[in-house]
Amino acid sequence: MSKFGNVFVTGGTGLLGSELVKQLLDSGEARRIVCLVRDHLPQSRFYTESFAEKVIVVRGDIRDQALLERSLNEYEINTVFHLAAQTLVGQANRQPTETLDVNIRGTWALLEACRRNETVGPVVIASSDKAYGNLNGESYDESYPLQGDHPYDVSKSCTDLISQSYAKSYGMNVCVTRCGNFFGPGDLNESRLFPSVVLSVLRGESPIIRSDGKFIRDYIYVADGAAAYRHLAEKMLDGKFNGEAFNFSYGLRLTVIDVTEKILSRMQSELKPQILNQAKNEIPVQCLNSEKAKSLLDWKPLFGFEEGVDKTIQWYSKQVEAGLL
């Protein structure tokens, strides 16, 4: 049953985007899937698992409003998942204007294209737990203010507020997701913790931790994240949640060292991490309260952290064995 009608996904080649496209294909919830793709990433699951052959690919930049308007109209889009963004904190620190431009202008360009379209219904916008900024160790719920300090955090605070503005000003069926750190199959960026540690162990090298290892984060397995997006979009079909934001995560408080040791343990490795203590402009403690999603949306994760860790290790192991990584 194609409950979502024709679906438009931005950022479909990314970690979350590839998994979301997979789940939409597997579930049959979309009549047709259209993906906006800027760069060809041959190692992305979007290509290696042949998702690209089963969807319509539109080449272009999320900031190209004319392209967005044409795509939404031409393919008679009913449901939108906006995941496209510059997601790397380190890159945001090095090139702040590019991150701010992509994440902020890309969001309002898409929302404006949706506003001008008569067939678009639910629009799910990816914000982040970083949008809350540094709240001194509190467990964030959706009532907390958005007060990012550093370039990436600020870009997500703005994305979030712009999305809520369009919902409230124009009555659009827009909701915002704020998720913990995604991990899982398809993460190709070795500057992030999971691919860095898992691939280091598979290569027989000591994992390198660029921070002091004490930063605390909340995590969510990418398949749980993609399922949460689909679940939210389904709940949005009756238009009850316009302008609402929802946290999705496990409510964990794990240090970088905790996660590294968990991965080493599951991989039965005796390697010791090398701690560089070079991270800058990072929030010391982040943890999400997802009770709103559980109570209003009846959401619950399908996998959880430990099962997600095992599945992630299995995926990277297969990729290395096949010579793909």
Structural domains in the chain?
6-183+221-249+288-302 (3.40.50.720)
- Catalytically annotated residues: 152
Amino acid letter for position 273: P
The residue written with tokens 């290509």 in the block is 47
- 261 vs 130, 168, 252, CA distance in Å? 24, 45, 15
Token pair of 105, please? 């202008």
The widest CA-to-CA distance across the chain, in whole angstroms, is: 58
- pLDDT in the model for residue 193: 93
**One digit per residue, pLDDT tens: the chain, 325 residues?**
689 999 999 999 999 999 999 999 999 999 999 999 998 888 899 999 999 999 999 999 999 999 999 999 999 999 999 999 988 777 888 999 999 999 999 999 999 999 999 999 999 999 999 999 887 777 889 999 999 989 999 999 999 999 999 999 999 999 999 999 999 999 988 889 999 999 999 999 999 998 888 989 999 999 999 999 999 999 999 999 999 999 999 999 999 999 999 999 999 999 999 998 877 777 888 899 999 999 999 999 999 999 999 999 999 999 999 888 8
